[in-house]
């Protein structure tokens, strides 16, 4: 049950964390962007696990505020993810 959910969440995180900014920044196809994102996460596993925990914590805080926290959290995470992508590429 929860192990499968955690694996799915980890996979979704790995394929999307850098692929979305990459698709905005470069002319690449979605599969290439997802593969590069997964490789970048794997090669930087410790900081990416920390980043995933931060994202989860901020999301849980947003849920606790009736999703009103997302008004602040979403733009902040998008901005931070863009800068992380620019630094790691």
pLDDT over 90 (residue 1): no
Contact 25, 84 (CB under 8 A): no
Q: In the chain, what percentage of residues exceed pLDDT 70?
A: 100
The pLDDT score that the predictor gives to residue 81 is 94
Contact 69, 59 (CB under 8 A): no
Burial 38-72 (b: 16+ CB within 10 A, else e): bebbeeeeeebeebbeebeebbeebeeeeeebbee
The pLDDT score that the predictor gives to residue 35 is 98
* pLDDT class of 89 with cuts at 50, 70, 90: confident
């Amino acid at each position: 049950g929860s192990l499968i959910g955690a694996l799915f969440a980890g996979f979704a995180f790995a394929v999307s964390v850098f692929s979305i900014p990459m698709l905005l920044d470069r002319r690449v196809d979605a599969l290439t962007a997802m593969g590069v994102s997964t490789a970048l996460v794997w090669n930087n596993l410790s900081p990416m696990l920390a980043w995933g925990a931060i994202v989860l914590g901020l999301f849980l805080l947003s849920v606790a505020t009736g999703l009103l926290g997302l008004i602040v959290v979403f733009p902040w995470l998008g901005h931070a993810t863009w800068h992380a992508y620019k630094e790691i590429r």
